[in-house]
Amino acid sequence: MNASATENIYLPKTAVLDRIVTEIPDVKTFYWRFDDAAEQQAFKRFRPGQFAQVSLFGVGEFPASLPPSPTEKETFFTIRQVGSCTAALHQLKAGDRFAVRGPYGNGFPMEEYYGKNLVFVAGGIGLIPLRSCIVDALEHRDKYQRIQIFHGAKTPGELMYVSKLHEWELTPGVECHLTVDRAAAGWSGNVGVVGSLFAKPGVHVPVENTIAFVCGPPIMFRFVIKDLLAMGFQPRQIVSTLERYMKCGVGKCGHCCIGVAYVCVDGPVFTYEQIANLGEDI
């Protein structure tokens, strides 16, 4: 986060909702912009993997990852309705106002991955925090080797950003592999956990010179990590974003501490090596 000495880093800035798109049941994408055009310009310097705090007037505040790439025209959040704040956001309509502060956190060091293969593994809404990295990587396609995206959900209707996935796989050197736990009428793709895609005929996941991005529910995360380590990945080759209840977002309140790390400042992006050293049980 860049802040001048006089800027109040806690102050939410008002924003207006432009449009709302339902992605899957209980998950909507909210396209928004700051009321102040200068704020909008300043905010768009965020890095993939950073997050922001979203305020609903009279209700409260919650942390939200930033799924757009910084170079995309629109800013948006994709939010699952899980509590009172997210429920309040889900009630809003185009033209309504809320507030945003941030961006916060470290983000993915994408420049450090130049020249490498990128493997994205996302379970369910775990694709939301990875979307920014995927779009950023595609915008700098010549900087990376192969790009593979593995995405799984419980049912076909719960796969995230499906039209985007089909768009992304049209880029040369990019593969998208989808799976569901339970098939439904019309589904002819893979059935099984997301890790089952690694062993699919025709799929080869390179281990050398590769970074694996893994996000999803804890059970999926544990199994995918086990699979990747068995394939020969080193813990430092695996990166993820940790979810914690952030309050201040700037390393002051201590709500997000794991061991000696403040997830809001030192994270939310960590390598699996760092996560294991923190003693985090996920």
Residues engaged in binding ligand FES (CB under 6 A): 246-249, 251-256, 262, 264
Report the residue number, 13 or 255, with the smaller CB distance to ligand FES.
255
Provide, rounded to whole angstroms, the least separation between the CB of residue 102 and ligand FES.
12
Residue 1 Cβ, how far from ligand FES at the closest point, in Å? 12
Take residue 163 and report the two structure tokens written for it. 């039209």
Nearest to ligand FES of 3, 253 (CB atom)? 253
Classify 191 in phi/psi space as left (phi over 0), alpha (psi -120 to 50) or beta.
beta
* Tokens coding 269: 């992006």
Toward ligand FES, which CB reaches closer, 150 or 262? 262
Nearer to ligand FES, 203 or 253 (CB): 253
Q: How far apart are CA 177 and CA 265, in angstroms?
A: 33
CA dihedral sign, ordered 82, 67, 9, 44: negative
E strands present in the chain: 13-24, 27-34, 51-56, 60-65, 75-80, 97-104, 117-123, 147-153, 174-180, 190-191, 210-215, 238-241, 257-258, 261-262, 269-271
Minimum CB–partner distance for residue 263 and ligand FES (Å)? 6
Give least dist CB 246 to ligand FES, A: 4
Q: How far is the CB of 13 from ligand FES (least distance, A)?
A: 19
Contact 255, 246 (CB under 8 A): yes
The CA distance from 13 to 265, in Å, is 20
Of 9 and 138, nearer to ligand FES (C-beta) is 9
In whole angstroms, the minimum distance from the beta carbon of 241 to ligand FES comes to 14
Instruction: Tell me which residue of 113, 126, 84, 79 sits closest to 268, measured CA to CA.
Output: 126
- Are 77 and 43 in contact by the 8 Å Cβ rule? The answer is no
* 257 bridge partner residues: 262
Q: Which is nearer to ligand FES, 117 or 241 (CB)?
A: 241
CB nearer to ligand FES: pick between 214 and 248? 248
3-class DSSP state for residue 266? helix
Say which DSSP state 71 is in. T
Q: How far is the CB of 245 from ligand FES (least distance, A)?
A: 8
